[in-house]
Structure 1
Amino acid sequence: MLNIPTRKPSVAICSLASILALAACSGNQAVPPSSNPGGASADSAAKTVTLSVMTSDRFLELAKQQFEQAHPNITIEIKEYVAAPPAPAAGKGQNMVVMNKPDPQNTEKFVSSVGSELMSGKASDLIVMNGLPYKKYADKKLLENISDLMSKDSSFPKDNYYTSVFDAMKYNGALYTIPVKFGLNMWLGNQAVLDNAKIDDSKWTWSDFKKIASGWLTDKNNDGKPDTYPLGKIDPAQLVTTMLGSSFSKFVDTNGKKAKFDSPEFINLLKLAKSMYDDQIIPADNVDNVIIQPKSNIMMYMDMYSMPKMSFDGKAGYYNLPSENEAKGTAFTTSMPVAINSKSANKKEAWEFIKFLLSDEMQSAKELNGFAVNKNGAKAQLNSLKTLGTGEGGAGKGLRLNLNGKELALQAATDQEIAAMEKVLNNVKVYAETDSKITTIVSEETASFFQGQKSAEDVAKVVQNKVSTYLQE
């Protein structure tokens, strides 16, 4: 649990890291130019490394620019499938940027296009595997073993990284896609209530959560509605996929190409999810009086620092999500898992670019917009929070949040707050795995159960059949 004093907002908190990124270019140190600026040497012909990504961002563009400066014989060609939407105009007094979720249709388009390219041998040298089933392609020998590249490269300082993050993404003992950054799967809760409940969020299950949360339900004015809801509004599809994400390997054996959705465990998980709505653990509509905010993915250092300051009247803390998995530790996701096409003619150059993405320079860049996997980068990112309100490090003076007329000036983070965040980051060990196709199947097919049209058993059979068919493709 991370304990940072907070204040409570009446609207959702959005990602704030992009605010500081505006000054990032001037704050980053340029990578030294190549020692051979005159052109390619006799044994180093000009190469073009292609990179497929659904939507590019400022981090990739900056990495391309600085890598090409340091490697004049290598061109990085970013192949973007969906252009980024224009940034919304900030309202008066609102120093914040809204980060939109990817359109499912765009994700499907990207996954389908890149999947076809991989199968036909025409894929890019590098692929950002968002939504793509990397284990499936690893089985087909279409992705390079990155663990081998690491072990054979004496210039790659493996100890400089959160190796538990790498280990969590291994498949059959090897990395086939490597996270350039990650986000945390945690809940933000009212610490005054949760501490009194004496929960152990290092090992609680969804059943544990419901049992504890049921004790928070009171109706003092006898209007038939709880005075306070344990969890804020969350749609059934999001709830069931969140529950699945925390326990993916329990229901999907990708290695054996077996689904386990017709198991008593999944059927009971569905029933438990529905009971949270039936028993008013989760409200049908948006309400202010909640004990836990349902936002579970913390994407950036600025989020981690600022969001608690806007919640629960200064008594907020971060808590791990419940899980049905045996693996323990804080769960994470990644918005930039990079793989190397095993058919690539530029594997050496592709690996060099990955190393650059993981370097101290790039991992400390404000454009990263995520948690660094590089420990030196993480230290630099955390230390930048100590300059808030000072005008140093691009942080600027007078950086303020203004929500519904309530203003909060962000002050410099204390050593105690930094240490609390470091403690959480050192405990990140569980990959909240996802497969866009399986997630879609589960979301769509379980809707009829939550609407009372089908039994959990019937829905589980349909999900089992569809996922099994998909895994055998």
Structure 2
Amino acid sequence: MKKTVVSGLLVATIALTTLAGCGTKTVTDYKKIMDSDVSGEITVSCYDSTIYKSYLEKAANLFEEKYPGTKVNVESAGAMPEVKTQQDGGKTLVVVTAGGNDQQAKDDYVSRVNTEIMSGGGADILAMDVLPYYKYADNGQLEDLNNFIQNDPDYNKADYTENILDATAYKGGQYIFPMDYTFNYLTYDSSLMADFPAQDKLTYQDVINAAKDGSASTGNKIFGQSAYSVQKGTSFFEKAYSLDYTDFVDIINKKVDFTGGEFAGLLETVKSYADSGWINPANVTAAETSREMSLDKFATDNAEKYYAKFNSSLNLVNQFTRNLGTKTNVIRLAGSGGSSENDEIAGLVSNDKDEVHFSYAQSYGINSNSKNKRTAWEFVKFLASDEMQSSGLGSPDSIPINNNAKGKIASMLITGEAMQKRAAASGLAGNGQEVSKELTPEQQQALGNYMETLDKFTKLLNKYDVHDEKIDNMVITEVKNFFTGEKTADEVAKTLQSKVELYLNE
């Protein structure tokens, strides 16, 4: 077949079509798209039914006011989290247990989205809750957002945390736009180790070297974590495994290495830590299969003494506000570690390649099937705007990607305003306590100290690993067999090698 000569008239259209062989290749004119009006109807799809839904619906209403003639539909699926309150030293703790952990419901949602996209349909914007977005990117089913960014004169990269965006690029393209980021840091108990060598970054071995002698003499655990737990994301194994995740599962290059010896060695090492009393034994009892973590267990875990604890980025603000004497509402996510009066910042955890990992709670991509990419892009950008990100309705365990919103949210966290808004969004009436939006001099000092530390830690975050929900569940499910004694480390490694290889090459 001869090449078709495309006329100058057709070049000016949004989609350019050239015939090559017997196939058709479409080239999109993104400049033309960005020159068009923001109008018409779009749909946003997500799995999480609580935080996502309230944030998206609020954004949809504001967006429609800002752009008359637009309509944003929000589709969501997922289980509601369990939210309970507990009094702790005059503070009201809102304990949020994990929602949306019904694996079958997640699988059904992913299958539905896959079917819609492959048939040429699907929502205009997809929240990357549990979706294997790398597959969509590889298949050309997600837009490379760089095409919009480069043709949008109103886009200012200085508005966003650049190293977070850069680290979430995939094969040179920006297929997702994270709305936030989250990280773990370690604290140490100053009542047990007054001279702990705190630093910006440290490895697990640094902590062990500093605490093992004291642990041997006192019987206190080094890390406040179980070797293995069915509470997903909470075990020492998972945290250690995630540090070198791409050594075992390299999704980008479709390489799997569970049988090279390092994975089996990791399992044996974690078990030896438990046997040595450095971490808690594996927790695989039937009672722990429930999504709900009781308040009694939460309080007990928080009261135990450990040399070091993992803490979420949300808890970082507590390091600077705990002695203010204010009755600030604080949300703690079950399994996040909590913070006590003796806990001091040890530093971020890095691996031996000097990589410091982070994750995100919310991120969005644009479906290549979308018939209204202009409005879809503008809505994604609106979700990341100062207006929306400083609303206090985002994820409670993450930091806004918008730089201007960071300080505003931090101020709202310190006064308790953010916690009240998030509790209300989760369907809670709150405790009836009025909060002042004005910071006291002590709170202002705490805000300054917190922002200084947050900025320092943020600049050190340099690694985001592409994950797949199904692969992660394969690993956690199979690893349980090692900690229950049903399989050896090598047997687990061989099983995972086979399963994950097969899945990645489907």
Give me the TM-score of the superposition, normalised by structure 2: 0.72
- The answer on whether the counterparts of 2:273 and 2:279 sit within 8 Å (CA) in structure 1 is yes
Aligned residues: 410
Aligned partner (choices 346, 362, 367) of residue 336 of structure 1: 362
Work out the CA distance in 2 between the residues paired with 1:444 and 1:117.
29
Provide the C-alpha distance between the structure 1 equivalents of 2:383 and 2:390, rounded to a whole number of angstroms. 10
CA contact (8 A) 2:415 2:435 kept: no
Larger deviation: 129-138 or 77-86? 77-86
Matches within 5 A, 1:194-233: 196-198=195-197, 200=199, 202-204=201-203, 206-219=204-217, 226=219, 228-233=220-225
* Gap change, CA 1:98 and 1:201, over 3 Å in 2: same
Verify the 8 A CA contact 2:64 2:71 in the aligned structure 1: yes
Cα offset, 1:376, TM superposition: 0.9
Q: CA deviation at 1:270?
A: 1.6
SS of structure 2 residue aligned to 1:367:
coil
Q: Alpha carbons of 1:72 and 1:300: their partners in 2 closer, same or farther (altered >3 Å)?
A: farther
CA distance in 2, matches of 1:138, 1:252: 18
- The residue that corresponds to 1:298 in the other structure is 313
* Cα deviation code 1:414-434 (max 9, x no counterpart): 123332233223333222543
Residue 372, structure 1, aligned to residue 400, structure 2: yes
Query: Judging changes above 3 Å, is the alpha-carbon distance between structure 1 residues 233 and 239 closer, same or farther for their aligned structure 2 residues?
Result: closer
Match of 2:497 among 454, 464, 467: 464
Q: In 1, distance between residues paired with 2:478 and 2:79?
A: 31
Give the AA of the match of 1:316: E
Q: How does 1:100-111 map to 2 (within 5 A)?
A: 100-101=97-98, 102-105=100-103, 106-111=105-110
Partner Cα distance (2:239, 2:388) in 1: 31
> Alpha-carbon deviation of 1:46?
5.3
Tell me, in whole angstroms, the C-alpha distance in 2 between the residues paired with 1:410 and 1:430. 37
Q: Distance in 2 between matches of 1:189 and 1:398?
A: 34
Give the root-mean-square deviation of aligned CA atoms. Answer: 3.4
Structure 2 residues without counterparts, runs of 5 or longer:
1-35, 230-234, 284-300, 325-337, 423-431
What amino acid does structure 2 have at the position aligned with 1:426? K
Alpha-carbon spacing, 1:386–1:300, altered in 2? closer, same or farther (3 Å): closer
Distance 1:334 1:129 in 2: 10
Inter-partner Cα distance in structure 1 for 2:200 and 2:471: 27
Q: CA deviation at 1:451?
A: 2.0
Contact 1:399 1:410 in 2 (8 A): no
Worse-matched range after superposition: 305-314 or 63-72:
305-314
SS in 1 for 2:364: strand
**1:297 deviation in Å?**
3.0
Secondary structure in 1 matching 2:487: coil
The Cα offsets for residues 88-108 of structure 1, whole Å up to 9 and x where unpaired, read as 466696533222213142433
- Superposition deviation, residue 388 in structure 1: 6.4
Contact 1:190–1:315 (8 Å) recurs in 2: yes
Distance in 1 between residues matched to 2:501 and 2:221, nearest whole Å: 37
Greater mean deviation of Cα atoms: 47-56 or 186-195? 186-195
1: CA distance, partners of 2:110 / 2:316: 29
Separation in 1, partners of 2:323, 2:241: 26
Alpha-carbon distance in structure 2 between the residues aligned to 1:348 and 1:203: 44
Q: Is the 2:246–2:465 Cα contact (8 Å) retained in structure 1?
A: no
Shift of 1:203: 4.8
Match of 2:378 among 349, 352, 362: 352
SS at match of 1:57: helix
Question: Cα distance, 1:128 vs. partner?
Answer: 0.7
| Cα distance in 2 between the residues matched to 1:82 and 1:72 | 31
Bigger relative contact order (CA 8 A; separation at least 6): 1
**Which residue identity is paired with 2:71?**
T
Q: CA deviation at 1:209?
A: 4.3
Q: 2:40 is matched with which residue?
A: 47
Q: Which residue of 2 aligns with 1:185?
A: 184
**TM-score calculated relative to the size of structure 1:** 0.77
Classify the secondary structure of the residue corresponding to 2:358: strand
TM-superposed deviation, 1:155: 0.7
Identical positions, percent: 26
C-alpha offsets along residues 96-145 of structure 1, whole Å, 9 cap, x if unaligned? Answer: 32222131424333333323333333221111111222222211111110
What is the aligned partner in structure 2 of residue 97 from structure 1? 94
Distance 1:304 1:371, change over 3 A: farther
| Partner Cα distance (1:141, 1:109) in 2 | 22
* 1:60-92 superposed Cα distances (whole Å, 9 cap, x missing partner): 221111001111211111111125357546669
**Separation in 2, partners of 1:297, 1:387:** 19
CA deviations over 1:358-377 (Å, ceiling 9, x no partner)? 11111221112331111111
Alignment partner of 1:242 is 2:232: no
Are 1:267 and 2:293 an aligned pair?
no
**Equivalent in 40, 51, 54 of residue 58 of structure 1:** 54
**8 Å CA contact 1:301, 1:382 repeated in 2:** no
Q: Report if the CA contact (8 A) 1:245-1:434 is conserved.
A: no
Match of 2:500, SS state, is helix
Q: Which amino acid aligns with 1:381?
A: I
2:225 partner letter:
K
> What residue number does 1:67 align with?
63
Q: Using a 3 Å threshold, how does the CA distance of structure 1 residues 410 and 301 change in structure 2: closer, same or farther?
A: farther
User: How does 1:132-147 map onto structure 2 within 5 Å?
Assistant: 132-147=131-146
Distance 1:182 1:277 in 2: 31
Name the CA distance, whole Å, in 2 between partners of 1:120 and 1:337. 23
Deviation at 1:217, TM superposition (A): 1.4
Choose from 420, 433, 443 the match for 1:412. Answer: 443
| CA distance in 1: counterparts of 2:258 and 2:470, whole angstroms | 15
